[in-house]
Structure formats: structure tokens, C-alpha cells
Amino acid sequence: MANCQPVPLNKVKISDLFWSKYVELVRNTVIPYQWEALNDRVPDAEPSHAVTNLRIAAGLEEGEFRGFVFQDSDVAKWIEAVGYSLQSHPDSELEAAVDSIIDIIEKAQQPDGYLNTHFTIKQPDKRWTNLHECHELYVAGHMIEAAVAYHEATGKKKLLDIMCRFADYIDTVFGPEPEKIHGYDGHQEIELALVKLYRATGNERYLKLSKYFIDERGKEPNFFNIEWEKRGRYSFWTNTVSKKPDLKYCQAHKPVREQKSAVGHAVRAVYMYAGMADIAAETGDNELMDACRVLWDNIVSKQMYITGGIGSTHHGEAFTFDYDLPNDTIYAETCASIGLIFFANRMLNIEQKSIYADVMERALYNNVLGAMSLDGKRFFYVNPLEVWPEASEKNPGRFHVKPVRQKWFACACCPPNVARLLTSLNNYIYSKNNNTVYIHLYISGEAEIELENGKLILNQCSRYPWDGNVKIGVVLESISPVSIALRIPSWCRKWSVYVNGEEVNPELVNGYAFVKRVWRENDEIELKMDMPAEFIWSNPNVRANAGKVAIQRGPIVYCIEEADNGRNLSAIEIDTTSGLTIETDKAVLGEGVIIKGKGLRTIDDGWQNDLYKPCEISKKEVEIKAVPYFVWGNREPGEMTVWIRSLN
């Protein structure tokens, strides 16, 4: 496996017409807003209790634990987001806020290294007795990721040392030795976090422990069944005797190397797959890598929405089965798409194939970006592809589908997850291997890249995703031949590459066009990609989309809203033979592209009080206006759909 390394976050500066406003929004609005939410200072929002819980555990306040058992993880993800932000934009006031919460975390840590406010405050005698349900290692994982990110940003070691003490303690509790617990967490996260801690410290114990959790999962006799019997079959969530654990729900139904399909809770699944890919990369475990490839293929070819969403049912926030992709009862949790991006990025760094970057881009521009309002203060947990507000309000089966973004959530995993992804966006644009630079995402800015034969500085400039022309200028020349590998996205079928104005014929390998030469200062590569608006059809096995089409241009998936097209969007049919027109509409986007098409609308004249009757259906010609999916729901509440009935 020819592993690549991402270009360090602080060596990539984003100055992009599209993305800079979102990065600034997160830095200036989302991070401060979430700090207020974590401290329960946002009016009319669900209280978090997260900071208060830490203060109680630290002995700084009196009170009871409140919130979910995993509430500490919200603080951890916020710290991680701040860590990434500080690497690009130092901020002494924000750093001071993090230092203050780290002081509290230090006081909340127990003498043996244990750290978890729920069990410290509420159930000190129940540590490690219900790993299936209680997220202890999941919370530890997020705290570890926060510690690594903050240390990388500031060089400060206090939180890193706290988490090393916790990880060292965990290593005394879990493992193959007879006196240790032969188990793992119900919600995967510790696995990928321990690999990060290993890379930050060089301590191989952490890599070994991560590998143990992956290797132990799903073995017989099954740990979760044994644990369930040992605690008297008691369930933390129902406070009653419960049914036997659903092993598929947490991907513990068989050893990970034997799993062939993505099953169960979608976030847990992709976090685990990301950890598996990390361990495969660090250890050269080809069998584990093969398992990653099989699971990847199952997700992206049979269980992924066109927006990059995953998890088709709200029952367990889970995968169901191949091609079961309903649009109106969908779940597609924001965290699941972020986890899919984590998985894609790790696979991409192991084997440089554009299929991974294509999915990373699809989820980023559509599902993840659409989860946050344009003002950065409201969020979607569930990301539907079809919304009928009245059904969301009155049908219990669709109550989870919200027609408007929410200020905050009692289970608030998604908002800080969006923040930590967007503040670390620099990490996903480039990677390097020997004397090759891979460009995975077309985001304008400058990158300083250390290669075997010296340093190269590249300046990327484009209007992507609205325009397919990308220019990459050489700021600092190379002293020997260097390959610059340009991703040719799967949506692009006609492209060309120019160097200093002259067309070249680069070698295309695994979806990357390789341009190799000794680069001189002021050299310029230009990648020209045709970016037509297109109708997209589903595999016929996706029954929810039978007779329907979606609209896509470049990486952007489009939808139609009631605000532009009137109520009852299901009555609209689009003419796929009349073509699509592209326009800029600043009223919707500020700057961006909307798409218009022609079609027919069934009208309800003459129905009166009839529900069914034989009759001629009356239709009228209409102009159909589609907007990018990521901006839906930023105007007045109303209907929305991605998949539109086809007239042809």
C-alpha cells in the first residue's frame, strides 16, 4: 500500500470565493455560538448541561448530572474545532476560553486517570459495566481527538497529558490478558482516536490498543451478550430488563474482517471503518484493507444517497438493506456523512483513487454543507431528500424530518461535528507521496508542500463549484521533476489540461491526471472541465426513485422548493428532453447558480370533494426552478424534493 500523507493543515491557506465565507462563518459565528450553547446561554434552545456537568465533576459546583450519558463529547468536539481554527487563525481570546475548560477537565479527572462526568457524578460504581449502551470509550475518543488537535495548534500539552493518563488507564483495563476486560465500546470512536494519539506521541501502546479493539469486535463468545447477562439483562436506556443486544446495530455481529455489508447505526459503522483504515495503513494489514474496500463498495454502490447521505431509517439511525433509499422517511444524519468523509479520506491516503475523493466531495458540498443554515446558527440533524411540512408535524413516522433547521439539540453531536470538519477543511485538499502532489479538492488558496526533493508552493484559483476551470500557479519552483496529480471528478466527462497555455496529454491513473516536469516559478497549470447541468437517474433497484430524476451540475445536487414552484411538488413532472438553463440568482445564493427547466403540473380543478374518480387529468405548462440542495430551507418553510417525476 503506497500511503500518502495529507499536507499539514497550517501549510494550506484557503482563500476561496465559495469556501472562505463558510470557514469564516464557523470561526466568527459557529464556534462562539456553540460555546454559548454548551454553557446554556442560548435563549429558547435545548440546554446542553455539558460545561455544568464538568464543573460538578470537578467539584466547582453542586448539582446532578444532566443530559445524555455521552454529553462530554460535545465539549470535546468543540475544543477540536477550535484547535483546527487556531492553526489557521490565532485567537488569544478563544484560546483562553479553551484553556479555562481544560483546567476544569483536569480537575474532573479521577486520580486513576478516568474521565467521564456521567459516571463520576451519577454512577461511580458502574464504570465499564455497560459498554454496549453507555459510550464511555466513545467519549474518551472524542476527548483524545480534541487533545491532539489543540496540542498541534498551540503546542500546549496539558490536555494531551490528561488524555495520555486516561489512555494509559484504559490500557490497564482492556486487552487480551486474563485479568482485563475482553471488550470494546458500543459506539466506535476510540479506535481512530487512539491512532491519532499514537501519531502525536509515538507511543505504540496506543496503536496496539486500537488494533485490539478492532480485532476483538464480533468474536465468539460475543462480549456484548456476556456483558448483558452479567448485568442482569438490564438496559440503561429503558431502566428495565431488555432483549438480547442487537449485535448488527453496533457492527459486533461478526469479526470486522468477515463483514461484507454496512449494517446498523450509520455513524458507528463509518467511524469503525475509518479506524480500520487507519490501522491497515499503520500496520500494512492487507486483510483489514480488503475488508475496508468491500464495505466501502457496499455503501457507495448500494446504500448511499445522491447527496452523500447514509442511513436510510430513523429506527436506530441505521442502514437497512441494499437499494432501500426512501426520500421522505430518510435519516441521513449529518454525523454519518462526516464519518463517511473521514473514511473516504483515509482510504484516499492509502490508495490514491478518485472514487474516494468523489464521495468525499459529494458528501461535503451537499449533505454536510446543507446541515447548517446560511447564518451558521441553525442545524439539521436529519437531512431529508423530500419534505412535506404538514407530514413532519402530523405523521409520527416522519416527525424526525424537520422542515426547518433547529437552534440546538438535546443530543447535539451534529453541530460541533460540522464545525470541526469545516475548520479542518485544509487537511482534505492535498496529499503527497515522495515527489507527487495530489490535488483532491478544488478549493482556492496557497499550499506549501515539502517533498523528498525540496519544497513546492502552489497557488490554486477557481470559481469552483460554479465553474469547472481551475488554475494552479507555481510560486516556488521545484529542483527536480515533480508530478502534480489532478483529480478528474466522476461527474466530468470532457476535460483538458494546459501548462503555460499549451495543451498537454497527461497520463490518467485511477482518476488522476499526472503532469510531471521540473516546475519553474510562474508556471501555470490550467484544468478545464465541462460542467453541464444534467438529469441523473437512479439504479432501477432504488424503488423510491422509480420514474424520477434529479438535477446535478458539477458536484452540486439540486432540489426544488415550494418557495419557487408552489405547493404540492409531487404534482410536477419535468421534461428531460427540453434541456436545462443556468442562471445566477443572488436573491437565493448571494453568488451561485440556479437551474431552470420546463415541465407540466397536474392541476386539481374539478376534483371538489372526490378522493378517487375516473377522469382526464388536466395539466399546465410550468417553468421549474431548482436551487442547490445545500441552501434549501433558508427561506420560508415549505415543501422540498430532490427527485422529480420525469415527464418522458
The whole-angstrom separation of Cα 354 and Cα 352 is 7
Residue 441 confidence (pLDDT)? 98
pLDDT given at position 464: 96
C-alpha to C-alpha distances, 515 to 125, 370, 437, 487, 500, nearest whole angstrom: 61, 35, 10, 11, 12
Angle at CA 124, nearest 5°, toward 119 and 125?
A: 125
Cell numbers at residue 456, please? Answer: 513546492
Q: What is the pLDDT of residue 412?
A: 61
Question: What single-letter DSSP state applies at residue 311?
Answer: -
Name the residues annotated as catalytic.
317, 413
Residue 581's CB: how many other CB atoms inside 10 A? 12
The strand pairing partners of 534, in sequence order, are 552
Q: What is the pLDDT of residues 50-87, one digit of tens each?
A: 999 999 999 999 999 999 999 999 999 999 999 999 99
Return the CATH number of 430-529, one of 2.60.120.260, 3.40.30.10, 2.60.40.1180, 3.40.50.300.
2.60.40.1180
pLDDT score, position 1: 44
Give domain 258-420's CATH architecture: Alpha/alpha barrel (1.50)
Assess contact for 73 and 413: CB atoms under 8 A. Answer: yes
Nearest by Cα to 471 from 532, 510, 523, 531? 523
Closest Cα to residue 12, out of 92, 80, 90, 87?
A: 87
Position 482 scores a pLDDT of 93
Cα 274 from Cα 343, distance rounded (Å): 4
Tens of pLDDT along 451-481? Answer: 987 889 999 999 999 999 999 999 877 788 9
Entry field: residues in the chain: 648
Residue stretches of the chain with pLDDT short of 70:
1-2, 410-412, 588-591
Sequence spans of domains, the chain: 258-420, 430-529, 533-646
Fold agreement (258-420, 430-529): no
**pLDDT at residue 613, rounded to an integer:** 86
pTM value is 0.96
526 CB-near residues (< 8 Å, 6+ apart): 469, 470, 471, 472, 497, 498, 499, 501
The pLDDT of residue 605 is 78
Which pLDDT does position 2 carry in this prediction?
67
Q: According to the model, what pLDDT value does residue 370 have?
A: 92
d(CA 281, CA 274): 11
Residue pair 304/296 in contact (Cβ under 8 Å)? The answer is no
- The whole-angstrom separation of Cα 282 and Cα 296 is 19
